[in-house]
Amino acid sequence: MDYMTLKEASEKWGVTPRRINYLCAADRIPGAIKMATIWLIPKDAQKPADKRYKNSKTTL
């Protein structure tokens, strides 16, 4: 399986490496593993949904 680093994932997904680190530590990216001090993320991993924002709109 091919892996990418935090920096590569941040460029691919358009977020900061710190945010990717947080997502890995929170186990939000399936298949991400930590080798010593480096997170390895599968190249085919999808960017997880941002739980800070709601996607649904309420109708009146």
Residue 58 phi/psi, 5° resolution? -90, 140
Q: Which two tokens stand for residue 40?
A: 């390895």
- Please name every residue paired with 35 in a beta bridge, in sequence order, or none if there are none: 38
pLDDT exceeds cutoff 60 at 60: no
User: Whole-model pTM?
Assistant: 0.78
Per-residue pLDDT, averaged over 35-54, amounts to 88
Q: Which two tokens stand for residue 33?
A: 């593993």
pLDDT confidence band for 32 (50 / 70 / 90): very high
pLDDT exceeds cutoff 90 at 22: yes
